[in-house]
Structure 1
Amino acid sequence: MRRRIAVILALVLIGAFIAWWFDLPARLGWRPADSDRITLYGNVDIRQVQLGFRVNGRVAEMNFDEGDSIKPGDLLARLDAKPYEDAVAAQSAQVANLRATLDKLVAGPRAAEIAQARAQLEERMADFENAKLAYDRAFKLRPGQTISEAALDNARANRDSAQARVASAQQALQLLEEGSRKEDIAAAKASLEGAEANLSAAQTSLADTELKAPAAGVILSRLREPGAIISTSDIIFVLSLDRPVWVRSYIPEPLLGRIHPGLEVNVTSDSAPDKPYRGKIGFISPVAEFTPKSVETPELRTDLVYRLRIIIDEPDQGLRQGMPVTVHVPEPKGP
């Protein structure tokens, strides 16, 4: 009997030592490792961007391979730009044509054109006077049968025609003196604005033949090669972003009051547990959710937790995307 009791006591002591050595209460339940410290578990967020062109075309250049590091603004790939350059040239010519038309309407007729119209009016008035005198003579001669009725009718027609030409010349001179109509100028402006919008769209399409890096990172996948015909839905590169580095973790409701946005924490990885990274809690979800399977806490697998995001202050290559990490929340400060 005494031997059995001794064995049981030995097993209890061994179990207590193992629990203390591996900090099992904190690992299994997010309970404080001691009276005031919280240990959480999570993963480095996977942040990737699928890059492609906004226009169709033939790939002319692919400047990076898988594993290459890139900086913001680096030219990753380029399409054959000749069709888009031609479109820009055509739209530029259209804009120039419509701008010249608008300038002409705004400026109105030249002084020489007005002078020419005035001289033409004077010429028409002189013709009318001659036609009128010829008609008056014919009218006086007709009673004496000196001229025929047909000659009188011809003289009358010449006078009326000359008078009509005078009225036409007067109207032409008046139109020149008044200048362009406001409606014509407004229509020309609208046409020019439409052409300028088309030119801007063509220039944007031309610029989109170059694929530039939106942020710093590492090329994960190169999915096309020069010569390939691509559309706007095709993916050219997959980019893994370097900055910022986020850690996704979860905390149960009983401990929610111990954290807040802006709280400084330490983050360690299994590969370098003695090299902590400093970070801040940047986001705490307002909605509860079930513990995800990626969090290794069997006892709380079906419990409700709150997701939080931790922003690492000075990350390096020691924190890789998807890596499991441990989050150490400091002890609360006393009052």
Structure 2
Amino acid sequence: MKKNSLIFLALAALAMVGVVVYSLVSENGSQLPDGFAQGNGRIEAEQIEIAPTLAGRVESVMAVEGGMVATGDVLAEMDSDELSATLDRAKAEVALAHQTKVEAEALVVQRKSELRRAAQELQRATALLTGQNISETVFEERETIHQVAAAVLGAAQARVATAESQIAAAEAEMRRIEALIEDSSLLAPTRGRVLYRLAEPGEVVAAGEPILTLLSLENVYMEVFLPARVAGLLPIGAEARIVLDALPDYSIPAFVTFVSPEAQFTPKQVETLDEREQLVFRVRVRIPEDLIQSRIEHVKTGLRGVAVIRIDPNLAWPAALEQGIPPELFE
């Protein structure tokens, strides 16, 4: 009986804390002391579209909706048979370009030999012409042969340069295709949860068409809308507390990471007509990453609640909103 009484008292105390927190953040913050502001919102996270770089057929999808994935996990595979065949052809072109270079270099050696022989013949013809032992016609023939040999050597050397360019182009094409084949395996860019599975094996999708939508859990936040008289006083980094409708007994520590530079009308999802008619500024409060990482399996987006922001850093938090590490926030 004594143990049951203690459990009852603990539950009653917890319920009273919930009532206090709810009374503080309800009624549009009318119970909050001066120096604090609040806004309605919901838990959100960045969404990442997982899509192929090229159009093609989906070979397999390993990820399941709602499943957790780690950075680098293979989420889906695209059919890469055609790319593999293209890669084989590119490798053959690289080999052919190398062979062309070898042949061009051998031709250069031959042309250099011919140029040396022509130079020797021209040198002898010059000496003979000085002694008037040959005619000028013969000398001119030797001179022409030398000039032709020099030109042919230049052409052979140009072929070597062309072959080198062909090798570079073929190798670049090979690397491009290898990168495309690597991209046919769609990897998780960050740790998160699969929100939507949008394609199934066998389907043909366009380039950039999402196959999966991944919810990144590295940046979990709530966006609220505050009037200018409040938003203008908020510094980046201001402390906040998030109280969720599903967990009114706990306040989740957060901090301001963004204040919109432009005013706007409050979005329709804000419930009251009076609030929707006001010009407000969008404010984002983010839950610390270390707090999310320690409870990442329990994080759920879409949960509604309020964010209470401390405008004056010198003020103490109300007792019901003091920072504490609550157990399994989103369980």
State TM-score, norm by structure 2. Answer: 0.69
The equivalent residue for 1:34 is 33
Cα-to-partner distance string for 1:21-68 (whole Å, 9 max, x where unaligned): 9759x7455557223332322222253223221123333222122222
Residues 1:252 and 2:227 aligned together: yes
Do 1:40 and 1:327's aligned partners in 2 also have CA atoms closer than 8 Å? yes
What is the CA–CA distance in structure 1 between the aligned matches of 2:89 and 2:246, rounded to whole Å? 60
Partners of 2:248 and 2:162 in 1: how far apart? Answer: 73
Structure 1 unaligned segments of length 5 or more: list them: 1-19, 124-159
Q: 1:293–1:170: structure 2 CA closer, same or farther, 3 Å change rule?
A: closer
The separation in 1 between residues aligned to 2:167 and 2:21, in whole angstroms, is 79
Query: Identity over the aligned pairs, expressed in percent?
Result: 24
Instruction: Supply the distance in 2 between the matched residues of 1:90 and 1:186 (Cα, whole angstroms).
Output: 23
Residue 196 (structure 1) aligned with residue 171 (structure 2): yes
Map Cα deviations across residues 214-249 of structure 1 (whole Å, 9 max, x no partner). Answer: 222222222333233333243322222222101111
Larger radius of gyration: 1
What are the equivalent positions in structure 2 for 1:1-335 lying under 5 Å apart? 23=23, 27-30=26-29, 33-102=32-101, 105=104, 109-110=108-109, 170=146, 173-174=149-150, 183-313=158-288, 314-315=291-292, 316=295, 319-330=299-310, 332-334=312-314
Task: Give yes or no for contact 1:261–1:284 (8 Å, CA) kept in 2.
Answer: yes
CA contact (8 A) 2:231 2:283 kept: no
Equivalents in 1 of 2:27, 2:266: separation in Å? 13
Assess, with a 3 A threshold, how the Cα gap between structure 1 residues 236 and 107 changes in structure 2: closer, same or farther.
same
What's the CA shift for 1:72? 1.2
1:232 match: secondary structure: coil
Paired positions, count: 279
- Counterpart CA distance in 1 for 2:71 and 2:115 is 65
Q: Distance in 2 between matches of 1:236 and 1:227?
A: 12
Shift of 1:312: 0.6
Q: Is the 8 A contact 2:104 2:157 kept in 1?
A: no
> Does structure 2 conserve the Cα–Cα contact (< 8 Å) formed by 1:44 and 1:319?
no
> Could you tell me how far apart the structure 2 residues matched to 1:209 and 1:236 are?
12
Contact 2:22 2:248 in 1 (8 A): no
| Residues 272 and 23 of structure 1: CA distance in aligned 2, closer, same or farther (over 3 Å) | closer
- The AA in structure 2 aligned to 1:38 is A
Counterparts of 1:256 and 1:233 in 2: how far apart (Å)?
38
Structure 2: give runs of 5+ residues left out of the alignment.
Answer: 1-19, 122-136, 316-331
Deviation for aligned residue 1:267: 1.0
Aligned residues: CA RMSD? 3.8
Instruction: Provide closer, same or farther for how the CA distance between residues 174 and 238 of structure 1 changes in structure 2, counting only shifts above 3 A.
Output: closer
With 305-314 and 79-88 compared, the bigger mean Cα shift is at: 79-88
TM-score by length of 1: 0.68
Amino acid at match of 2:71: P
Please give the secondary structure, in 1, of the residue aligned with 2:219: coil
Where 1:214 maps in the other structure, the secondary structure is: coil
Question: Are the structure 2 counterparts of residues 35 and 190 from structure 1 closer, same or farther at C-alpha, using a change threshold of 3 Å?
Answer: same
